[in-house]
Amino acid sequence: MKINIAVLSGDGIGPEIVSQALNVVKTICSVYNHDLNYEHALVGVAAIDACGNPYPDSTHELCMNSDAVLFGAIGSPRYDNDPQAKVRPEQGLLAMRKKLGLYANIRPVATFPQLLHRSPLRRDLVEDADFVCIRELTGGIYFGRPQGRSEDGNTAYDTCVYTKEEIERIIRLAYRYAGERKRQLTIVDKANVLSTSRLWRQVSQELEKEYPEVKTEYMFVDNAAMQIIQCPKRFDVIVTENMFGDILTDEASVITGSLGMLPSASIGIHTSVFEPIHGSYPQAAGRDIANPLATILSAALMFEYAFGLKEEAEHIRKTVNESLNAGIVTEDIAAGGRAFKTSETGEWICKQIIVNK
């Protein structure tokens, strides 16, 4: 099969972790005789420095012409500490989502037996937790208009906007995922307060009748936040709007014990983007200490979702699991043992993929 991907390393640790994930992609393609074509492009701070745009037209054109995008992270303290900055790297991420039609962010949340001790939650609460969060990605308060501040600067406002079509699209996708798993869907909103949530509830209840094989429940976002911590094993597939999903998925990440272990897929109209859920971690940039496993697992999602290559995806996941068993891990999850470098971890996984072929 021809594997045609765009590689957007981004900021901070992005180049280091994406480099290791790309090496894994190359190794898998070699083992399974796939024809890999890839091209790098600028995004984030590097793109601002080069042309003043965090998501340049040339980068967008490459993404549009690719079957999938392997992405690192965006963000820099240079802009975090400058409230007057007219252009921010995060604007590149929002532009990419909007222009590529990345309407659904898929975040699997599953525990690793080797890392149960790393979770701040009790072992009996998180052991065997395995659910998927589906976050709507192109609507809501992050994109709603109007937004801004008053002339005197003392009042600020953002507007949460959703259309029926946007909601229906993401709900149908969630039902599809639930149908392929345990046939249980939790729809999260705040319908007792927000008009947009009441539209979400209305549309969801209309669609629910089309999926009688799936058990559907509705949950307010504050209750969902509590239930994810108190009883994460009760969930199978969770779907919600943009801001709620942003918050809940970061909360759910503590279940695994490390942000460095969670991959994600952003499903789009034109192409799809695969990236770790963590940020750019600028404090670790260039030190060869960042955990590449979330990015490598994102590459596994890419093989599965973008190319339908489940065997290749499972090969990667199996090898990552072996690295955890063997203690070939970076300092964030080393737990007192030897901490391996980012590059050492990636190299070991590539060699082990060949051993397991």
Residues acting as catalytic residues: 142, 190, 222, 246, 250
Q: DSSP for 195-232, please give it.
A: HHHHHHHHHHHHHHTT-TTSEEEEEEHHHHHHHHHH-G
Say if residue 146 is preceded by a cis peptide, omega within 30 of 0: yes
Q: Which residues have a Cβ under 8 Å from the Cβ of 255 and sit 6 or more positions away?
A: 109, 111, 119, 121, 126, 129, 228, 232
Contact at 8 Å (CB) between 74 and 54? Answer: yes
Q: Which residues have a Cβ under 8 Å from the Cβ of 355 and sit 6 or more positions away?
A: none
Contact at 8 Å (CB) between 21 and 320? Answer: no
Task: Say how many residues make up the chain.
Answer: 357
How far CA 145 is from CA of 102, 142, 162, in Å, comes to 19, 9, 11
